[in-house]
Every structure is written in structure tokens, then in C-alpha cells.
Amino acid sequence: FAVSALRGDGMDALRAHLLAAAASSPHAGGASAFDGFRMGLDRVFTLGGIGTVVAGSIASGEVAVGDSLCLAHAPTQRWRVRSLHSHNRSLERAQAGQRCAVGLAGLERQQVERGMTLCDPALALSSRRLDVWLRVAPNADRSLRSGTLVHLHLGTQDVLATVAVLGQSAIAPGAAAPA
């Protein structure tokens, strides 16, 4: 689309195209409060009288004071939600799309860190492998080969990962393939 932000040229056509694409997406409507609770943790701290508090943006579902939650990698260890806060306001319930701080009874500070996922125990799952459709940037200097060490950004995590290109030896700049 040829557009000009200064003159407004082409903006109506672009807006209509984006709205149509969003409406036809299988994810139209975004995360729902009816999905299971899931929140990537971007902050972890301790408050006197409250204990360990974790914070992040709720990706899906809802949470209420008294709920039992776990860290995705440790579904058998569960903690009760003692308190919820959002924008300096105490809450009884929070839902998908909100920033939230969750006070968890019994969770020790050293048991949790940034990048972990707090979730409903029914959703808890951890894996050391991830299947993806990987596209290499068109301006990359070289092809991406199996065995290449990359940064993987997933939720609030930034971890080192090793690429395993499937069905071919490498992915050329601008191309995509399963990995």
C-alpha cells in the first residue's frame, strides 16, 4: 500500500485491509477470559508482609484471589493467590489483557525468576523442543544452518537455542522452512 502519514493518502484503504485481515484471523478477538490463565513473568520481587510477588501481562484467562496456580515447568507445586494488584489498585479478579501483580502464598523468591510462566495447573507444560516455521530475514548475511545458536524470545523469556532445520541443510535469507 502506498500511504502518506502527512497527507493521509491511502490510509483508508490500508485501514480497511487491516480490519478485514484481523476479522478473518483465527485469533480474531484475541485472548479470552474463558481460556485458561497464563501470564509470562517480567518482574519478581518480595514485599514485607505479603511475600513473593510476580508481575506480568495476563496473556489468557482470568485469575481471582484464592485460586491455585503453578509455574508451567513445575505443575505439581501449587500456590494460592493471596492478592492481586493492577495499576496501584487492589483487585479480587483480573483477566486477559491486564497488567497484574500476583501475591502468592508460600512461594519463595528463589523458586521463581523472570521469564517463567504462571498458569492454571491444567495448562502446565514444559518442553525443551519447539517446532516452528522459521523465516530468515531477507537482509541476513548468510543462510541459517542446523546447529546455529540463536536467541529465542518466547513470552518474557530470552534464551539461547540451537536451530535444527528440518528437511534441508539450511534456510537461505528471505526463505522459510520448518525447524
The verdict on pTM exceeding 0.75 is: no
Under 8 Å between Cβ of 146 and 168? no
| 75-130 residue pLDDT tens | 899 999 999 999 999 999 999 999 999 999 989 999 999 999 999 998 888 788 88
What is the rounded average pLDDT for all residues in the chain?
A: 89
Decide if pLDDT at 26 tops 60: no
Query: What CA dihedral angle connects 95, 101, 102 and 103, to 10 degrees?
Result: -150
Find cell 525447524 and name the residue: 179
Answer yes or no: is pLDDT of 154 > 90: no
Tell whether the model's pLDDT for residue 27 goes beyond 60.
Answer: no
29-47 tens-digit pLDDT: 555 545 789 999 999 999 8
Cell numbers placing 169: 541443510
Highest-confidence range of 1-15, 56-70, 114-128, by mean pLDDT? Answer: 56-70
61: Cβ contacts below 8 Å, ≥ 6 apart: 31, 32, 33, 34, 35, 36, 37, 38, 95, 96, 120
Q: Looking at residue 31, what is its pLDDT? A: 52
Find the mean pLDDT for residues 125-148. Answer: 91
